């Protein structure tokens, strides 16, 4: 049960209850909690909302910046009607590591702050009673963990994270916690992959169950609740005549229902929405259902005021409305897999997602926010341990998200250091290991940082299409020198054009920090006018090269970062402010995107 990641639901066989609300909470500055028996009772806890990052609630800096162990606890009533079922706790995201205890019994540990995990608590649970759920968590950053960074100890003895990336290290139970129950013989996982014919589609499915007994049947219903195909067995084909395809910004979904039965008795049922569509890379085109698509969208963050990186359905709804208003059709889950509700939104709204694992900070120079090091990241002796954790998270991300029609591609790294040969073996292993994980064989990619150019990157052979993060006009050749920035960008792109590489290139980051309300004629950096000029420069360049198949400026909205002399209370490259109101540039870019056909 502990490897299971299917999204929880309640139906006649299954039970799902969110445990959101106020939990008990306590910092463990001396890491003494275990020795002091906090698994049985947290002494003098404070209350903490879940889901939420704890950081921004506090009014003192030691608490906001707290680094180390911290604990959550909640009493959870488990109804007797669930007797005979497997009982679990499902954590949407515990950032970055957690050990779960129920009624004093250690259940399991998990590392990786952006993916769900299930704790099988069947043996520890007391029915018709309150059960004490306790979590020991930790938010330190290390070079052998994702996302990468260091944890320093200040002279006053306090710990401090030194991320090799700019987004704030928001910590805590950032996504919902669920109490779940399911039958012993239950659906563990399923896959559904479409192929298209002439007005007919075949959905090839597989179903895994926890026990081999029982038979499996599968039904597919359309949006009018009409059955369009059925099949029996743990794998098979659902043939759909006149399929309504899932298309970019024109989504149609089908409901797949899996039943496990034995002796005419229903043992388990699981339903999910799927889309019928194909994704291919053909030469320099990205194709959905055989039709070329030009990506318009954003790099994003799960970030908002008060609760930090907590998943907030209201913020997400607003973000989708903003993206739709802009004429966008896609986004990248920079720099970690997002809450599962995000993918459900995208499935329904017809957005394409580049799904990114939290392999960020894999570059010592990126630690320059904090006085970076020169050494090549992949020459470090930590990379073997890191590789295991990285692959583990890639595996879980693909496992979790593989059935979403919105997922276009897997991004396996953000801005790793590929300008040294030492990166090659790591990339070779990671790309090879990832290939087998996705039944839909989606393209795999990663973002190439500014320093990893056509000339300098040793890892250009790996991606199925390219994501380029480029900052001329901001981090170099800025202000009045922006014309040289444009020239440099064109020089690089001319090399891509002249090469025999026949794969799409998407610009996955570019932008200018912009203080909303700051106007200046003629422009200066940080003004609203300069942000528009920078976007106009990039857009001129994009329109000059056929192989550029998408643009995703950085960022949809301003977001919180570490403190530093390059940031004024956060990263201000948003087209929208942190409270999701437009800067001038949003109106400019909206017009451009509305003028570009969705598909061409």
What's the rounded Cα separation, in Å, for the pair 206 and 358? 28
What's the rounded Cα separation, in Å, for the pair 351 and 297? 9
User: With binding defined as CB under 6 A, does residue 573 bind ligand GCB?
Assistant: yes
Per-residue DSSP letter, 116:
-
Whether cis (ω within 30° of 0) applies to the bond prior to 147 is yes
Give the residue from 533, 528, 411, 538 showing the smallest Cα distance to 470.
538
User: With binding defined as CB under 6 A, does residue 185 bind ligand GCB?
Assistant: no
**Nearest 5°: phi and psi at 526?**
80, -10
Catalytic annotation, pick one of 4, 65, 273, 509: 509
How far the first Cα of the chain sits from its last, in Å, is 45
Spell out a b/e string for 207-230, using b for 16 or more CB atoms within 10 Å of the CB, else e: bebbeeebebebbbbbeeeeebbe
Contact positions with ligand GCB (CB under 6 A) in 304-323: none
In the three-class reduction of DSSP (H, G, I as helix; E, B as strand; rest coil), residue 367 is classed as: helix
What's the rounded Cα separation, in Å, for the pair 587 and 328? 13
Active site residue 316: no
Choice between 231 and 577, CB closer to ligand GCB: 577
Q: Cα 565 vs. chain centroid, distance in angstroms? A: 28
CB 578 within 8 A of CB 304: yes
User: With binding defined as CB under 6 A, does residue 355 bind ligand GCB?
Assistant: no
CB of 449 to ligand GCB, least distance (A): 6
CB of 482 to ligand GCB, least distance (A): 17
Instruction: Mark 145-174 with x for binding to ligand GCB (rule: CB under 6 A) and - for no binding.
Output: --------------------xx--------
CB of 167 to ligand GCB, least distance (A): 6
**Cα–Cα separations (whole angstroms), residue 518 to 267, 482, 515:** 62, 19, 6
Number of residues that bind ligand GCB (CB under 6 A): 10
What's the rounded Cα separation, in Å, for the pair 376 and 457? 13
CB 531 within 8 A of CB 588: no
- Alpha-carbon dihedral angle through residues 582, 558, 490, 541, given to the nearest 10 degrees: -20
User: With binding defined as CB under 6 A, does residue 414 bind ligand GCB?
Assistant: yes
User: With binding defined as CB under 6 A, does residue 67 bind ligand GCB?
Assistant: no
Active site residue 385: no
Choice between 221 and 335, CB closer to ligand GCB: 335
- Residues 6 or more apart whose CB falls under 8 angstroms from that of 346 comprise 331, 352, 353, 404, 406
Inter-axis angle of helices 528-542 and 482-498, to 10 degrees? 20
User: With binding defined as CB under 6 A, does residue 452 bind ligand GCB?
Assistant: no
CB of 509 to ligand GCB, least distance (A): 5
The correct pick among 6, 571, 578, 593 for binding ligand GCB (CB under 6 A) is: 571
What's the rounded Cα separation, in Å, for the pair 425 and 435? 16
User: With binding defined as CB under 6 A, does residue 469 bind ligand GCB?
Assistant: yes
- Residues 6 or more apart whose CB falls under 8 angstroms from that of 487 comprise none
User: With binding defined as CB under 6 A, does residue 445 bind ligand GCB?
Assistant: no
Instruction: Mark 324-353 with x for binding to ligand GCB (rule: CB under 6 A) and - for no binding.
Output: -----------x------------------
Choice between 68 and 511, CB closer to ligand GCB: 511
CB 162 within 8 A of CB 370: yes
Residue 263's region, left for phi above 0, alpha for psi from -120 to 50, else beta, is left
Catalytic annotation, pick one of 4, 65, 140, 415: 415
Sheet-wide strand order for 235-241? 187-196, 200-209, 235-241
User: With binding defined as CB under 6 A, does residue 509 bind ligand GCB?
Assistant: yes
CB 503 within 8 A of CB 463: yes
**Cα–Cα separations (whole angstroms), residue 205 to 109, 183, 255, 271, 277:** 32, 22, 13, 13, 14
The correct pick among 547, 554, 576, 593 for binding ligand GCB (CB under 6 A) is: 554
Kindly tell me the burial class for residue 595, based on how many C-beta atoms sit within 10 Å of its own C-beta (0-12, 13-18, 19 or more).
exposed
What's the rounded Cα separation, in Å, for the pair 116 and 176? 10
Sheet-wide strand order for 105-111? 46-50, 21-28, 69-78, 129-138, 97-102, 105-111
Choice between 414 and 445, CB closer to ligand GCB: 414
Residues known to be catalytic? 415, 509
Contacts with ligand GCB, residue ranges (CB under 6 A):
165-166, 335, 414-415, 469, 509, 554, 571, 573
């Amino acid at each position: 049960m502990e490897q299971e990641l299917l999204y929880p639901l309640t139906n006649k066989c299954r039970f799902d209850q969110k445990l959101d609300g106020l939990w008990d909470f306590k910092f463990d500055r001396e890491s003494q909690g275990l020795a002091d028996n906090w698994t049985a009772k947290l002494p003098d806890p404070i209350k903490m909302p879940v889901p939420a990052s704890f950081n921004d609630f506090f009014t003192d800096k030691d608490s906001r910046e707290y680094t180390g162990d911290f604990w959550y606890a909640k009493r959870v009533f488990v109804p007797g009607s669930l007797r005979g079922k497997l009982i679990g706790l499902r954590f949407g995201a515990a950032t970055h590591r957690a050990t779960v205890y129920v009624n004093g019994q250690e259940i399991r540990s998990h590392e990786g702050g952006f993916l769900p995990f299930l704790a099988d608590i069947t043996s520890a649970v007391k029915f018709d009673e309150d059960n004490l759920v306790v979590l020991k968590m930790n938010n330190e950053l290390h070079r052998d963990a994702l996302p990468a960074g260091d944890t320093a100890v200040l002279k006053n003895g306090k710990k401090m994270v030194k991320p090799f990336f700019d987004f704030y290290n928001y910590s805590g139970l950032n996504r919902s916690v669920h109490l779940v129950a399911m039958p012993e013989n239950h659906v563990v996982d399923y896959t559904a992959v479409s192929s298209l014919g002439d007005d007919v589609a075949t959905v090839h499915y597989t179903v895994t169950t926890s026990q081999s007994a029982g038979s499996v049947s599968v039904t597919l219903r359309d949006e009018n609740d009409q059955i369009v195909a059925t099949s029996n067995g743990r794998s098979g084909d659902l043939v759909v005549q006149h399929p309504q395809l899932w298309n970019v910004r024109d989504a149609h979904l089908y409901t797949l229902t899996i039943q496990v039965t034995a002796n005419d008795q229903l043992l388990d049922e699981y339903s999910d929405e799927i889309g019928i569509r194909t994704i291919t890379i053909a030469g320099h085109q990205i194709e959905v259902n055989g039709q070329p698509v030009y990506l318009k969208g954003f790099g994003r963050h799960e970030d908002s005021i008060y609760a930090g990186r907590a998943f907030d359905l209201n913020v997400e709804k607003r973000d989708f409305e903003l993206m739709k208003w802009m004429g966008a059709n896609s986004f990248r889950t920079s720099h970690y897999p997002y809450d599962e509700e995000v993918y459900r939104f995208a499935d329904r709204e017809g957005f394409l997602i580049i799904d990114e694992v939290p392999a960020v900070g894999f570059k010592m120079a990126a630690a320059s926010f904090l006085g970076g090091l020169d050494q090549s990241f992949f020459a470090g002796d930590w990379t073997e341990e890191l590789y295991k954790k990285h692959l583990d998270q890639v595996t879980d991300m693909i496992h979790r998200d593989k059935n979403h029609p919105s997922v276009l591609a897997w991004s396996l790294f953000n801005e790793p250091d590929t300008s040294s040969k030492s990166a090659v073996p790591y990339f070779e292993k990671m790309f090879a290991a990832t290939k087998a994980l996705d039944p839909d064989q989606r393209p795999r990619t990663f973002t190439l940082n500014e320093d990893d150019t056509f000339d300098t990157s040793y890892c250009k052979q790996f991606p199925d299409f390219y994501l380029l993060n480029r900052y001329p006009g901001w981090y170099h050749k800025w202000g009045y020198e922006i014309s040289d920035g444009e020239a440099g960008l064109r020089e690089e792109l001319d090399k891509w054009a002249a090469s025999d590489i026949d794969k799409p290139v998407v610009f996955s980051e570019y932008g200018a920090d912009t203080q909303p309300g700051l106007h200046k004629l003629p422009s200066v950096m940080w003004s609203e006018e300069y942000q528009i000029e920078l976007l106009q420069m990039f857009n001129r360049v994009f329109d000059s090269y056929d192989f550029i198949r998408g643009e995703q400026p950085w960022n949809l909205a301003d977001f919180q970062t570490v403190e530093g002399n390059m940031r004024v209370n956060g990263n201000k490259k948003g087209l929208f402010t942190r409270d999701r109101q437009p800067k001038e540039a949003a109106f400019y870019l909206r017009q451009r995107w509305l003028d570009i056909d969705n598909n061409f």
